[in-house]
Structure 1
Amino acid sequence: MRRTARRAGKALGACAAAALLALAAPAGTAQAATGVLVIDGTEHEDPQGCYRLGDFAPPRVANHTDETVWVWSGPDCDGRVTQGIHPGESAIGRGRSVYID
């Protein structure tokens, strides 16, 4: 019985050590979305981060990337998310800014 408990303890210790190493390893560098994000006719190649939308006319957003574009109610990607525009979709941005990874 003690041998079984020791083996289980060693296995658990090995798993814990592996998990700790995995968490301690640095994450890969962030990469921009691949493709083109078009906001009111202006193209942004391999976009990343926050982009403001126009203040007057309803902004047209075309997502030709591999990531979802998130529309925010605030001008600096703050406030709340009002909609998502998935890859391959175009929509009127119902907010003040968009964010893409």
Structure 2
Amino acid sequence: MRETRRVARVLGACAAALTLALAAPGTARAADGVLFIDRAAIHDPSGCYPLGDFVPSEVANFTNETAYVWSGPHCDGHVTRSVLPGQLLHPAPGMSLFIQ
């Protein structure tokens, strides 16, 4: 009886460890370099950024990733443009920009 409990505890601990290992999120990744939105520098950007409300923003992408301009304010809607690495654009229309 004692041996059965010990084996059950060991198996339970192994199952819990395996579950935690599989459920742990991967490491966060950001673009390497600098993204400029209206001349404001964002170093190693990652995520969604708002663009100008009334005047088309100026976006300069000096990172290693492509940035995507979205029609909605929170990187929702649909992609209207892409800003390739090394590219400078005035992306209109577009309300937000996503880069990974």
TM-score range, shorter chain: 0.7 to 0.9
* TM-score after normalising by structure 1: 0.72
Unaligned stretches of 5+ residues in structure 2 = 1-21
Aligned-pair distance for 1:58?
A: 1.1
* TM-score after normalising by structure 2: 0.72
2-structure distance, mates of 1:34, 1:84: 17
Report what 1:98 is aligned to: 97
1:88 aligned to 2:86? Answer: yes
1-structure distance, mates of 2:67, 2:91: 10
Report what 1:44 is aligned to: 42
C-alpha RMSD of the superposition: 1.5
2-structure distance, mates of 1:50, 1:84: 14
Candidates 28, 31, 36, aligned match of 1:30: 28
- Counterpart amino acid of 1:87? P
Aligned residues: 78
* Aligned-partner SS, 2:42: strand
Aligned-pair distance for 1:27?
A: 7.0
- Counterpart amino acid of 1:98? L
Aligned-pair distance for 1:30?
A: 2.4
2-structure distance, mates of 1:48, 1:32: 5
Candidates 60, 63, 66, aligned match of 2:61: 63
1-structure distance, mates of 2:48, 2:97: 6
- Counterpart amino acid of 2:33? G
- Structure 1 residue runs of 4+, over 2 Å off? none
